[in-house]
A = this chain, B = another copy of it.
Amino acid sequence: MGKMDNFSDWYNDVIEKAQLIDKRYPVKGMDVWLPYGWSIMRAVDAFTRSEMERTNHGEVKFPLLIPVTEFNKEADQIKGFGGEVYWVTKGGHNDLDIPLVVRPTSETAMYPMFSLWVRSHADLPLKTYQIVSVFRYETKMTRSFMRVREIHFFEAHTAHADYEDAERQMREDAEIFSRIAKKICIPYIAHQRPDWDKFPGAYYTVGADALLPEKKTLQIGTWHQYRDNFAKAYDIKYEGKDGQFHYAHQTTYGMSERLLGAIVAVHGDDKGLVLPPGIAPHQAVIVPILFKGKEEPVLQACRALADTLRGAGFRVHVDERDQTAGFKFNDWEMRGVPIRIEIGPKDVEKGSCVVVPRIKEDVKSLGGLDFGAGKVFVPVADLPGKLGGILDDFSAALLARATKFRDENIVYPKTIDETKTLMGLLRVGWCGTEACGKKLETTSEKAVLGVPQGDVKFQGACIACGTATTTCVDVAKTY
């Protein structure tokens, strides 16, 4: 199962063997979430919810089905999504008078209600989000978590008194995303998308791109400044302190099961999945090493340790299945559990246990312990105090390893022709015109991701026309 030999086969293989989803459902691109995969996704969702609560967003749930009359109110949305939505045209044995769109995203479902909710400046900012399935009638090749027809989706929708307050929200979204990305140990670069690639109806769009092993990028988060574009289409107005009515300014922020796709692709290895401790359903699995007639004291020690660790706030599982220890080792490696703990009869005698991290090369030291030999004997009484540090350092190692890969693959083509053969994040000068941007996309056979956000300095010339510029864009093959 070689990750770097054939990424696609490896990716599908890991997803199947780690039992994340089952792809054999009889509609292509609609997968069945299996308990283990769903528990990982729900752990990501739980952290997202805690972030939204921290930032005073309310969780809502809007209906799935949108009347075509509402869907058609914003012209760019129709243009952007009209060709890829599912249509409900019949209820029971009757044709519906007003066909219903199965939501591809929820602007057109939510904003008729926002129009009722937003009356006065005191109602603003309105900060909401939901976690739901959205649907796209994909005609391209589907791939688990990355391009599917039923998408597990997060969407935040906000309304503000003015552009500046909506800009403040955009900065908050960027900060929330950075905390989520850190939790799942995925480095990324945020790009302001070029105008021809922004979200339908948006004033501008920022996308967060992760670099996967094939040196192609995956968009794993987006936030959009809508200005008052949708507010005008859906009549979202409020009475200001000045007694006048003003259109609200809006933003949205989206993520999806692609976060899990990135976790699989970036952290996994030839033995299978590697899960970031922050979202692993089991942060540690305890495997009893059993010898005939000596089972009971070992099982008791395992269960007692698990109880203690759970009491200290860790997610721990004891594997008591009727299988060999070797089978269990392989199984939990495949499923990516960060830490394995082994306890056998001799360990019970010594009051000790064996701690083995899921990855070896990048984790010589974890929580102050030397893992150079791959495993460490730890007194059972010490483990509750040490496990937090071990897991924190494990997370840091995952992030560092992935960041190194990303940074090594930011490349600087010298000519526009080079952009065709080079892979990775190609950083090039750009004069800012759509003509040069499109020429760059055609020549490179890649996408212009946009202007990298943050502290990126550039001094050079547009790679397409040679005009001097201080603006650069990143260019990459995308999923």
Segment at the interface with B among A61-69, A183-191, A196-204, A291-299: A61-69
Which one of B24, B85, B89 lies within 8 Å of A116 (CB-CB)?
A: B24
A31-39, A411-419, A444-452 - interface stretch: A31-39
Segment 147-192 of A: residues with Cβ below 8 Å from B: 150, 152
| Chain B residues positioned under 8 Å from A38 (CB to CB) | 59-61
The answer to whether A58 has its CB under 8 Å from any CB of chain B is yes
For residue A93, CB closer than 8 A to chain B, the reply is yes
What is the CA–CA distance of A60 and B85 in the complex, to the nearest angstrom? Answer: 25
Q: Does A74 touch B at the CB level, under 8 Å?
A: no
A102 proximal to B (CB < 8 A): yes
Alpha-carbon distance between A61 and B20 when the two chains are bound, in angstroms:
11
Partner of A22 from the list B91, B100, B113, B152 (CB cut-off 8 Å) is B113
* Least distance between A131 CB and chain B CB atoms (Å): 11
Query: Cβ of A137 < 8 Å from any Cβ of B?
Result: yes
Known A-B contacts A33-B61, A60-B34, A70-B26; A137 and B86 likewise in contact (beta carbons under 8 Å): no
Within 8 Å CB of A65, what residues of B?
Answer: 27, 30, 86, 135, 150
A139 is an interface residue with CB less than 8 A from chain B = yes
Q: A26-B67, A65-B86 are in contact. Are A137 and B92 (CB under 8 A)?
A: yes
Residues B86 and A60 in contact, CB atoms below 8 Å apart: no
- Judge whether A90 and B89 touch: CB under 8 Å: yes
A24: which B residues are within 8 A, CB to CB? 113, 116
User: Is A83's beta carbon under 8 Å from chain B?
Assistant: yes
Bound together, the chains give a CA A26 to CA B30 distance in angstroms of 28
Give the chain B neighbours of A63 by CB distance below 8 A. Answer: 25, 27, 30-32, 150
Q: How far is the CA of A62 from the CA of B22 in the complex (A)?
A: 10
| Complex: A237 Cα to B261 Cα, angstroms | 33
Q: Can you tell how many copies of this chain the complex includes? A: 2
A405 adjacent to chain B (CB < 8 Å): no
Q: Scan A282-296; emit 1 where CB is below 8 A from any B CB, else 0.
A: 000000000000000
- A133 proximity list for chain B (CB < 8 A): 64
Q: Tell me if A32 and B59 are in contact (CB < 8 A).
A: no
Assembly CA distance A344 to B25 (angstroms): 61
Residues of B within 8 A of A39 (CB): 59
Closest approach, in angstroms, between the C-beta of A471 and any C-beta of chain B? 36
Contact A89 B89 (CB under 8 A): yes
Interchain CA distance A405-B135 in the complex, whole Å: 46
Q: Which residues of B contact A25 (CB under 8 A)?
A: 62-63, 109, 112-113
A27 pairs with B67, CB closer than 8 A: yes
Of chain B, the residue at the smallest CB distance from A58 is: B35
A88 contacts partner chain B, Cβ-Cβ < 8 Å:
yes
Q: Complex: how many Å from CA A82 to CA B42?
A: 33
Residues of A in contact with B (beta carbons under 8 Å apart): 22, 24-27, 30-35, 38-39, 42, 58-65, 67, 69-70, 82-93, 100, 102, 109, 112-113, 116, 128, 133, 135, 137, 139, 150, 152
**What 14 additional pairs, Cβ within 8 angstroms, besides A26-B69, A84-B91?**
A22-B116, A25-B112, A27-B65, A27-B100, A32-B62, A33-B61, A35-B128, A39-B59, A61-B152, A86-B88, A86-B91, A89-B89, A91-B137, A102-B102
